[in-house]
Amino acid sequence: MATRESAVRVGLVYPELLGTYGDRGNALVLVQRCRWRGIDAELVEVAAGEPIPDSLDVYLFGGGEDDPQNMAAAGLRDSRAAIERGWQGGGVVFAVCAGFQLIGHSYVAADGAVLEGIGLIDAVTNAGPSRLIGEVVVDPAPPLPRLTGFENHGGRTTLGSGVAPLGRVVSGGGNGDGSGTDGALAERLMGTYLHGPVLPRNPALADHVLRWVVGDLPPLDSTWEERLRAERIAAGTKTGLTKWWQDRMLARG
C-alpha cells in the first residue's frame, strides 16, 4: 500500500436531497475502513446548493424521492464539469438509485416529463408500471463476491451497448428493464439500485471502491460484517447462509 500525502476525501453529495434511504452509511463505512487501517480519511459533505468540488477522491450519490431528485439533478448539472474532472483525474463515482439514474442521460417520468442527468454513462431510465421493493441479491463479476441489498424504486434503467452492468440479478428487480442485471460498472465508477446501505452490507465491495483510490489494502477482520451479509443473502435466496457457512468451514480446513 502506497503512502498518501493527503487524507482520502470521501464526498457525500447533497445528503439532504439524496439521503432518503440511509445511503449516508456508504460514506461512513468508507471512512471507517480507511481509519481502521491507519489511512487518514475525512468525510466531506457537499450541501445542496453548494458547488461540487473537483478535488474529492470519492463522489457518493444516494437515493431520493422525486422532488428532491429533481432539485439534485439541477445542482449536478451545474457541477457536471467539476464532477467529470474529479472522476477523470482519479476520483471514484459511486451512485445509488436516484443517484445512479442521474449519472445517466435522463429519466422519463410516467407523464412524459424528462429529467436530464449528467451523462457520465450511457444509460436512460423510464418510469415503470410499478415499484420494485424488497431484498436483492446480485452476482457481480469476479473478484467481487455475491452482493446483497434492498431496493425501492419505480425506474427501469437501460444501459447502452458499451456499458457493463455491475452484476446479474439472482433475486429482486435490479435495473428492471428485462436484462436481469443491476447497476453499471466502468473505470472507477459504479451505479446500483442496492440500498441497505450497500457498502456496510458488503465489505468486499467497500474495499473494492477504496482500492480504486489507495491501491492495495491490508486485510481487515470482517467477520461480523460478513455474517450480516450472509443473513441478508439468506433472506433473499434462502441459501446464502448455508453457502457462507460451508465456505467458512472449507477455509478453516
Which residues are part of the catalytic machinery?
A: 97, 195
> Pick from 36, 41, 32: which is nearest to 6 by CA?
41
| CB of 71 closer than 8 Å to CB of 109 | no
The answer to whether residues 248 and 238 touch, using CB atoms and an 8 Å cutoff, is: no
CA distance 142 to 162: 19
CA 2/CA 5 separation, integer angstroms: 10
Distance CA 181, CA 157 (A): 10
Cα 193 to Cα 99, 153, 221, distances in angstroms: 9, 8, 27
- Distances, alpha carbon 102 to alpha carbons 18, 62, 125, 136, in Å: 11, 10, 9, 21
> Which one-letter DSSP state was computed for residue 244?
H
C-alpha–C-alpha distance, residues 159 and 17, integer Å? 25
CA–CA separation, 23 and 61 (whole Å): 8
For the chain, the 3-state helix, strand and coil shares in percent, each to the nearest 5, are 35, 30, 40
